[in-house]
Amino acid sequence: MDEQARQLALLMENMLYAFGAAGVDGECCENISHGEFRALHTARHRNNCNMQDIARKAAVTKSGATRIVHRLEDKGLVRRVEDPKDGRSCCVTLTEEGKSLLKRIEDQLTNKMQTILAAMDPAMREVLIIALGAFLQAAQGPAGNMDRRTEGEEAKGEQAQFI
pLDDT single digits (tens) 28-57? 567 888 889 889 999 998 877 889 999 998
Window from 29-38, 47-56, 105-114, 152-161 with minimum mean pLDDT = 152-161
The reported pTM is 0.69
pLDDT at 151: 39
> What's the rounded Cα separation, in Å, for the pair 92 and 83?
9
User: Which domains, and CATH codes, for the chain?
Assistant: 22-156 (1.10.10.10)
Single-letter code of the amino acid located at 113:
M
DSSP string, 57-97: HHTS-HHHHHHHHHHHHHTTSEEEEE-SS-TTSEEEEE-HH
Q: Taken in order 47, 91, 55, 21, is the CA torsion positive or negative?
A: positive
pLDDT at 55: 92
**Burial label, 78 (beta-carbon count in 10 A; 0-12, 13-18, 19+):** buried
